[in-house]
């Protein structure tokens, strides 16, 4: 494991192989990792996504990292950080000329294809923001070849993963602290990058499969949808797919 402190003062621990960076970051958080601390790995043996999905990325080609945050906002507001992390990643990608969109709550897409996924978990007193970003991935397995993309595929450039990691970690940390006092402004930025606005989507709400029209994102970060003529505010939904 290599460790260092970035120019912004963020402590980074870079491993070649771990089970899941979220698990390593959780242990470090319990031991007292400072807010902003980052665990990154070239390869994960048990990288996971939301709803028990598996997150796989060829060794050394992506960025799989988890950042410990210690918010001072009330715990009930922590879900805001899941939304804001997607925005922070999308805005970092814009620096590379990639017009990224956020598919609520926090998948990061380019041209409808997934470039990054985010898994936010928590301990008693910390939030763990886990980010999987397809960086220098040239080819994807056939199962996801039509739905995934990478920075390399979209820009034609190989990226320096360490430099990019530090930019992303700084962006997530500063957006998380802005979310404490400036959430409405960040929501506005999220709305400008919302991949679902005005779309008809299918989704799962618990055990119910629904077809709804997305109206936008509400003041608490909820997804506003129209179903059978009624507007509903969803705080959570699974397997959202754009129909048209």
Site residues (vs ligand BTN, CB under 6 A): 20-22, 44, 47-50, 53, 55, 64-66, 107, 117-119, 130-132
Minimum distance from residue 48 beta carbon to ligand BTN (Å): 4
Question: Cβ(217)–Cβ(223) under 8 Å?
Answer: yes
Residues near 205 by beta carbon (within 8 Å), at least 6 away in sequence: 234, 237, 238
CB nearer to ligand BTN: give 11 or 185: 11
Q: In what order do the strands lie in the sheet with 11-18?
A: 2-5, 11-18, 38-44, 63-69, 127-133, 113-122, 107-110, 101-103
> Which residue, 47 or 79, is less far from ligand BTN as judged by CB?
47
Q: How far is the CB of 86 from ligand BTN (least distance, A)?
A: 10
Cross-strand pairs, 213:
200, 226
The closest alpha carbon to 77, from 163, 186, 211, belongs to 186
Q: How far is the CB of 19 from ligand BTN (least distance, A)?
A: 8
CB 80 within 8 A of CB 60: no
Residue number with CB closer to ligand BTN (36 or 132): 132
- 147 versus 185: smaller Cβ distance to ligand BTN: 147
101: left (phi over 0), alpha (psi -120 to 50) or beta: beta
- Residue nearest to ligand BTN as judged by C-beta position: 117
Minimum CB separation from ligand BTN for residue 232, in Å? Answer: 23
Cβ proximity of 9 and 36 under 8 Å? yes
Shortest Å, Cβ 22 to ligand BTN: 4
Q: Of 54 and 184, which has the nearer Cβ to ligand BTN?
A: 54
Query: Of 131 and 194, which CB lies nearer to ligand BTN in the complex structure?
Result: 131
Rounded to whole angstroms, the Cα distance separating 47 from 65 reads 10
The nearest distance, CB 149 to ligand BTN, in angstroms, is 14
Distance CA 48, CA 198 (A): 30
């Amino acid at each position: 494991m290599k460790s260092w402190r970035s120019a912004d003062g963020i402590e980074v621990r870079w491993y070649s192989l771990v089970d899941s960076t979220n698990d390593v970051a959780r242990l470090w958080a319990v031991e007292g990792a400072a807010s902003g601390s980052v665990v990154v790995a070239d390869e994960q043996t048990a990288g996971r996504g939301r709803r028990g999905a598996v997150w796989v990325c060829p060794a050394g080609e992506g960025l799989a990292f988890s950042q410990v945050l210690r918010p001072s906002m009330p715990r009930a507001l922590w879900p805001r950080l899941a939304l804001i992390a997607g925005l922070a990643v999308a805005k970092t990608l814009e620096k590379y000329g990639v017009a990224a969109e956020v598919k609520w709550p926090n998948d990061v897409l380019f041209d409808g294809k997934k470039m990054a996924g985010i898994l936010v978990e928590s301990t008693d007193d910390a939030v763990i923001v886990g980010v999987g970003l397809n960086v220098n991935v040239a080819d994807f397995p056939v199962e996801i070849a039509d739905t995934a993309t990478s920075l390399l595929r979209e820009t034609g450039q190989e990226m320096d993963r360490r430099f990019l990691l530090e930019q992303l970690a700084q962006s997530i940390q500063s957006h998380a602290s802005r979310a404490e006092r400036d959430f409405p402004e960040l929501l506005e930025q999220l709305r400008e990058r919302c991949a679902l606005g005005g779309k008809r989507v299918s989704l799962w709400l618990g055990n119910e499969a629904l077809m709804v029209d997305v109206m936008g994102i509400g003041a608490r970060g909820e997804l506003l949808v129209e179903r059978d003529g009624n507007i509903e505010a969803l705080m959570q939904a699974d397997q959202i797919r754009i129909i048209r």
